[in-house]
Amino acid sequence: MENIFFEIGLMIILATVGAYLAKLLKQPMIPGYIIAGIIIGPLMQLITNSSTILTLSEIGIAFLLFIVGLEIDFKKLANVAKVATLGATIQIFTLFNLGFLLATYLGFRSIESIYFGLILTFSSTAVVLKILSDKCELDTLHGRIVLGFLLIEDIFVVLALSILNTINDFSVIILLYALFKGLGAIFIGLLIGKYVFPGIFKYAARTTELLFLASISVLFLFAILFHHLGFSVVIGSFVAGIILGNLPYHVEIMSRAESLKGFFSTLFFVSLGLELSLTSVNNIVIPLIIGLIFVTLIKPIITMTLCSFFGYSRRPSFMSAISLTQTSEFSLIIVSQGLLLGHVSQDFFSMTVVLMMFTIISTSYVIKYDYKLFGLIGNKIKFFENVAAKRLENVPEKYKPDVIICGYNRIGYSILKSLKNKKILIVDYNPEVIRGLMSKKNVKCLYGDIGDIAFISKLPFEHAKLLISTDPVEKDNKLLLKEVEKHNKKIIKLVTANQIHEALVLYDYGADYVIMPHLLGGHHVSLMLDKFYNLPKIFKTEKKSHIKELQHRLNNI
């Protein structure tokens, strides 16, 4: 017991040092955690007990995925449902079959080829959601697409584990029984979450401590249940998180569980470095390199092609694709199970660990610089644009809007309600949103990306009195402000920013007002817009006071 305590303490201390160095060098923290694990494991051999390492890794994954599950809101996935279900399913079968064929070509046995295909197919829910959450991009269009893909992948993980558990004594009846157990447990859990837990947690919510204990109890309850059904405790923890995440009290539960998130995510990433086996690296070089090429190049091309096929422009398609360029934490669970069943070798397990480690590190950089990457290659991937999606519009040729709203799915809904009697044009790059708006009467809308200069240069700015952008991307808004200035110098320009320094830059670019959702909120904007004909006077006053407040906040950070 003392050894485990000291080993966890050592992991946290070294991870803290790694995080400090990463912060000083302005690098993502995840590589720092993994390097810390490599130092205290394979290099210095301070922690070498494989059973302890696997236990700590599984505990870290279980708690991390529980917290990830809490953050998943199914309601937010409604407008990406088609690509998230059908698109993700096509992607999974395509990637698995290509991975299986690739492994067979490399000389793997059939059973190992199945595992190799699964490793290359699934992406990391925990890693992607952590990075997107840190960047405040979970609620963006590509964030929702990615979340939808990951949810479908996690369902297929349960199916894959069911199949692999029965593969030695394979029969259709055993397979169907395993699938029935897994899906049945999830279904029962959802029913309990809908009809039983609301009453229990309504009482528990009276005390924050009791609410926290009840949440952790549900985690262990489902972990034990899934373990006895022959599944990993990690899957049970994830299901528990999803169920609690859709309760009315999920915000309170998340606030209490937030302190666990940093601890267990650190534990997981450090344990990943601990699992690296340096002695067997030479035996896995070729499949490792090919696996890296597949995950970081082939996989995003397939994902982007599918997103484009479902009508998404190249930017959200690109952002979604590069966010999924890593292997999943479930790969460790799948291959660990394969190791116990005798399906794969120790070298195969080491290859899985190294592949996951490299792809997670590369993902942390790719997502950090996603907009810069798109800026570099965006114009070179125009062939991904879906031609049919460009025809998503119901705007008459000579339509002269009073108001142009760029981005409906954020605070655009509240703004639209406040401008009922105005001629409005809505611009959005989510084809599902545009299709929904086109079904409504008197709502004129246009599919397009305001980050594309060729598109925004054709918007009817000349006669508009008001331009509103709910897109928080600074680069997009700067481009929009520069372009609209060429067509209409009198138009009132409202844009959105998440950070104070970004808001001040946008004011320098000519914005009349910068909406900052966490300071202002859509409700306040809608109240200001009630006095439509006094907008110049209102925003002149608001602009001065807002700049003063932002500068004050910036000076006191």
Question: Side chain identity at 512, as an amino acid letter?
Answer: D
Q: Would you call 404 helix, strand, or coil by DSSP? A: strand
Using an 8 Å Cβ cutoff, are 512 and 539 in contact?
yes
Q: What is the rounded distance in angstroms from the CA atom of residue 437 to the CA atom of residue 393?
A: 10
- Average of pLDDT values for 534-542? 70
Question: What is the model's pLDDT at position 84?
Answer: 86
410 band by pLDDT with thresholds 50, 70 and 90: low
Strands of the 466-469 sheet, one edge to the other: 444-447, 424-428, 403-406, 466-469, 492-496, 513-515
C-alpha angle 82-84-90 in degrees, rounded to nearest 5: 90
Question: Side chain identity at 6, as an amino acid letter?
Answer: F
Phi, psi (deg, nearest 5) at residue 403: -130, 135
Using an 8 Å Cβ cutoff, are 256 and 211 in contact?
yes
Using an 8 Å Cβ cutoff, are 9 and 1 in contact?
no
Q: Which of 293, 301, 353 is nearest to 322 (CA)?
A: 301
- Average of pLDDT values for 197-223? 86
494 band by pLDDT with thresholds 50, 70 and 90: very high
User: pLDDT digit string (tens) for 123-142?
Assistant: 988 888 888 877 878 777 88
- Average of pLDDT values for 161-172? 69
Q: Biggest alpha carbon distance in the chain?
A: 77
Handedness of CA 479, 480, 481, 483 (dihedral sign): positive
Question: What is the model's pLDDT at position 557?
Answer: 45
User: pLDDT digit string (tens) for 33-90?
Assistant: 888 888 888 888 887 776 777 677 777 778 878 887 887 777 767 778 888 889 999 9
Instruction: Kindly list the distances between the CA atom of residue 284 and the CA atoms of 60, 108, 328, in Å, as whole numbers in the listed order.
Output: 26, 12, 19
Question: What is the model's pLDDT at position 466?
Answer: 92
What lies within 8 Å, CB to CB, of 31 at 6+ separation is 22, 361, 364
Using an 8 Å Cβ cutoff, are 447 and 434 in contact?
yes
Q: What is the rounded distance in angstroms from the CA atom of residue 529 to the CA atom of residue 533?
A: 9
> Per 3-state DSSP, what percentage of the chain is helix, strand, and coil (rounded to 5)?
70, 5, 25
Q: Percent of the chain at pLDDT above 70?
A: 86
Is the confidence at residue 101, as pLDDT, over 50? yes
User: pLDDT digit string (tens) for 306-350?
Assistant: 988 888 888 888 999 999 999 988 887 888 878 878 888 888 888
- Average of pLDDT values for 472-485? 89
Instruction: Kindly list the distances between the CA atom of residue 448 and the CA atoms of 151, 200, 416, 431, in Å, as whole numbers in the listed order.
Output: 27, 46, 18, 9
**Does 202 or 506 have the greater pLDDT score?**
506
Question: Side chain identity at 98, as an amino acid letter?
Answer: L
| Rg over CA atoms, the chain | 25
392 band by pLDDT with thresholds 50, 70 and 90: low
Q: What is the rounded distance in angstroms from the CA atom of residue 447 to the CA atom of residue 550?
A: 33
Question: What is the model's pLDDT at position 132?
Answer: 85
Of the spans 22-31, 184-193, 288-297, 353-362, which averages the highest pLDDT? 288-297
Question: What is the model's pLDDT at position 388?
Answer: 47
Question: What is the model's pLDDT at position 97?
Answer: 94
Q: What is the rounded distance in angstroms from the CA atom of residue 269 to the CA atom of residue 61?
A: 9
Query: Which segment of 145-154, 381-390, 511-520, 532-541 scores lowest on mean pLDDT?
Result: 381-390
In the predicted model, what is the mean pLDDT of the chain?
A: 81
* Tokens coding 504: 């001040």
Q: What is the rounded distance in angstroms from the CA atom of residue 124 to the CA atom of residue 367?
A: 13
Question: What is the model's pLDDT at position 295?
Answer: 95
Q: Which of 428, 507, 437, 508 is nearest to 469 (CA)?
A: 428
Q: What is the rounded distance in angstroms from the CA atom of residue 308 to the CA atom of residue 462?
A: 31
**Does 123 or 394 have the greater pLDDT score?**
123
Cross-strand partners of 446: 393, 427
Q: What is the rounded distance in angstroms from the CA atom of residue 393 to the CA atom of residue 435?
A: 9
Query: Which segment of 84-98, 102-116, 414-428, 469-483 scores lowest on mean pLDDT?
Result: 414-428
113 band by pLDDT with thresholds 50, 70 and 90: very high
Q: What is the rounded distance in angstroms from the CA atom of residue 499 to the CA atom of residue 501?
A: 6
Q: Would you call 232 helix, strand, or coil by DSSP? A: coil
* Tokens coding 410: 């954020």
Question: What is the model's pLDDT at position 91?
Answer: 94
Using an 8 Å Cβ cutoff, are 370 and 323 in contact?
yes
Q: Would you call 230 helix, strand, or coil by DSSP? A: coil
Beta strands 424-428; 444-447: pairing state: parallel
Cross-strand partners of 451: none
Q: Percent of the chain at pLDDT above 90?
A: 17
Phi, psi (deg, nearest 5) at residue 495: -130, 175
Using an 8 Å Cβ cutoff, are 479 and 462 in contact?
no
Using an 8 Å Cβ cutoff, are 222 and 244 in contact?
no
Residues in the chain: 557
Q: Would you call 271 helix, strand, or coil by DSSP? A: helix
